[in-house]
Chains A and B, each alone.
Chain A
């Protein structure tokens, strides 16, 4: 079974631009979560989607948003980019059933804001 895939793997943007990152979960997984990883703040939870609905949100400004499609694929968007948004953005999916709290991560998208 294929793992979580994220595209693109690398992005370079300038301040003020916006960016959209994509995540395809493991087949059969309906929950998708997003995390931001930076050297200073570590791994921080952004939001979680299930059946096209955001169920949980971390403490990030409204510039960070996401959505999920009917096929469980998810996108996250960051508007008005700031230098501090440079980070590795990780997507994770969770299976249904008894292991629903276990998350499987993709390779990440490395975003650099200049």
Chain B
């Protein structure tokens, strides 16, 4: 079945550092790929998505590229801020509107 493997956390960075959170997936067909972010006490917010190979999703300085050859969708940001502290989830979606999530990566950014 479909699965998502996500970089183990927690990740602690200083403000303005470069961020990479690794995500690889196993799926049949050509799923859409997503990154969601969860702030404390809140639900999930869609951060970015990509629907086909070589698509790049981007939002709020975050980027991720759909790499079919390596089945990866790594999240990157060039300069993190304290406000980026949250839990990040990689997910893949199929035709049945059932998202399969990774285990989440806790990011803490220190001033």
Contacts and interface: CB of A to CB of B under 8 A. Distances in A.
B28 interface: no
A63 interface: no
A22 interface: no
Given A42-B103, A55-B96, A104 B46 contact: yes
Nearest to A107: B43
Contacts of A107: 42-43
If over half of A's interface residues share one DSSP class (helix, strand or loop), that class is named, otherwise mixed; here it is strand
Interface of B: 32, 34, 36, 42-46, 49, 51, 89, 93-104
B101 A43 contact: yes
A105 B36 CA distance: 10
A56 B46 contact: no
B44 A90 contact: yes
B99 A45 contact: yes
A55 B95 CA distance: 11
B43 A106 contact: yes
Question: Considering the complex of A and B, which 7 residue pairs feature the smallest CB-CB distances, nearest first?
Answer: A43-B101, A105-B44, A105-B43, A101-B93, A107-B43, A56-B96, A108-B43
Interface residues of A, number: 25
A18 interface: no
A33 B49 CA distance: 18
B98 A56 contact: yes
Given A42-B104, A105-B36, 20 more contacts: A4-B43, A33-B98, A33-B99, A45-B98, A48-B96, A48-B98, A50-B97, A55-B97, A56-B97, A56-B98, A58-B98, A90-B43, A92-B99, A100-B97, A101-B97, A102-B46, A102-B93, A103-B99, A106-B43, A107-B43
A95 B90 CA distance: 20
Contacts of A55: 96-97
B37 to A, nearest CB: 11
